[in-house]
Amino acid sequence: MERVIEIYHDGVLLRLVDEAEVGVRDNTYTVVVGENGVGKSRLLSDIARVRISDYNLMAAWRIDAPVFPVVIAASTSPFDKFPAPPRRLAKAQKNYRYVGMRGEGMYGASSAVSLLSSAARGLLSKLSETPPSLNLLEVLDSLKFSPVFNFVLKPQFERSRENETSSRYRGDRSSFTSGAYRYSFDTRVASILEATDSLQAVLRDLDIASSLMDAPGALRLTVDFRSSVATLGGTVIESSHLGAILRLFEENLLRLMDVEVEKYGRQPFSLKRASSGEQCLLVLMLGVAGHIQDHSLILIDEPEISLHPEWQERFMALLQSAFSHYSGCQFVIATHSPQIISRLSGPGSFICHLRKRKLYPASQFQRRSADFQLAELFDAPGMMNEYISRVCFNLIAQVRVGRPFTPQMKSEIDWLFDVRSKLDPSDKLIALIDSLSALLKEGRS
């Protein structure tokens, strides 16, 4: 399926990619900018809904397409506007994957655990494939993380011998027999499983998971992403067993409690206790890595949240290098960060100004100062913007020596008079722009 070249948004056709600049197998990167309230997050949500709808329509009519792209929506904001994540795998939009703070099912969770859970689902899913299709080393190396992770999972079910009596089976729990064992879990989960004819398959998965647990309590799954090997208690587990764990995770019968990681030269620690910036960056990258395939559509909303400016500058380079071995993927990123814009580079990279409805090649803004980005792209020049000051002083110097007007000078003068209205009334640049205006009037008289 073709990438999203243009889309109607708020009644206007908006261009996202310049087709003449990219090939079919090229990855493209479009960064969407605009002031608050202009609709950046809504645009990403609209793109997701269109692609989900396209897939559902083609599936309903049994239309064979060469590629059904996976739509990956990622955000570390609790206020993202992406389509709600499916509650269970069986009800999932077949081409939609969500990485974010929503979607922890009926149990609820802290924002940190919700983020980790949404990323972990994709990672475990790719590891359970034969052969595994996960390549995280570049992401982990860039962040100085060891490739060995411990996923701490807590069973949301109880197991006993079929002939045992137990006071644990309360009114809000249902029990089912499988072989010599009886399993008890939340009645709400049981109702869903019975309604979708999934109960027997889940009971088989419960038998597998229970056989892997030494004792009641947490299940600690160790994954080495360098070798794509998963172990429990030092014993390598088969991909089918990993698949059983994943399905129980999806059905809310296993719950992620923590992810333990190790940075090179440091002791292992809980990712929940990592800095908010480390959490956000790692979850975004791992979340995308867990679902991406060739020709995917990846939508990332405000990746700069909680990121230090240094990491904002590195974000695009990391994103581009980490997934460069995939082809035909389309990344659309909404941001307020000049640092992210300044490091966007390479063919297939574009900047979409939402209010102006214009698409620019990223090279036009590459490695330009934050003040330049704020004034030219974000319509938020701030106080004493050095770029505006430099343009104004340069024009004053040219006018004073009587240099003939050029189209570029005319364009810069018009831009300065327009940007003047966006300056704070106390900003001294207003007086500087007014001085230029007075000089121009003197020259005409």
Give the side-chain half-sphere CA count within 13 A for 328: 14
Q: What is the pLDDT of residue 138?
A: 74
Q: Is the pLDDT of residue 19 over 90?
A: no
Residue-wise pLDDT for 279-304, tens only, equals 888 888 888 988 898 999 999 999 99
DSSP string for residues in 116-135 = HHHHHHHHHHHHTSSS----
Q: Report d(CA 241, CA 228) in Å as an integer.
A: 14
What is the largest distance, in Å, between two alpha-carbon atoms of the chain? 105
Q: What interhelical angle do 111-127 and 239-250 show, nearest 10?
A: 150
From the number of C-beta atoms within 10 Å of its C-beta (0-12, 13-18, 19+), residue 79 rates as exposed
pLDDT at 148 over 60: yes
CA distance 352 to 360: 6
Contacts of 371 (CB under 8 A, 6+ apart): 381, 382, 385, 386, 387, 388
Q: Which residue has the higher pLDDT, 373 or 193?
A: 373
Give tens-digit pLDDT for 100-111: 887 655 555 556
Q: Mean of the pLDDT values across residues 3-11?
A: 89
Tell the burial category of 164 from Cβ atoms under 10 Å away from its Cβ (0-12, 13-18, 19+).
exposed
pTM: 0.84
Phi-psi sector, 76: left (phi>0), alpha (psi -120 to 50), beta: alpha
Mean pLDDT of 60-88: 74
> Tens of pLDDT along 340-399?
888 888 889 999 999 889 999 988 888 788 898 888 888 888 899 999 999 999 999 998
Residue pair 298/4 in contact by the 8 Å Cβ criterion: no
pLDDT top residue among 312 and 300:
300
Q: Where are the domains of the chain?
A: 108-273, 381-444
User: Are the beta carbons of 118 and 289 closer than 8 angstroms?
Assistant: no
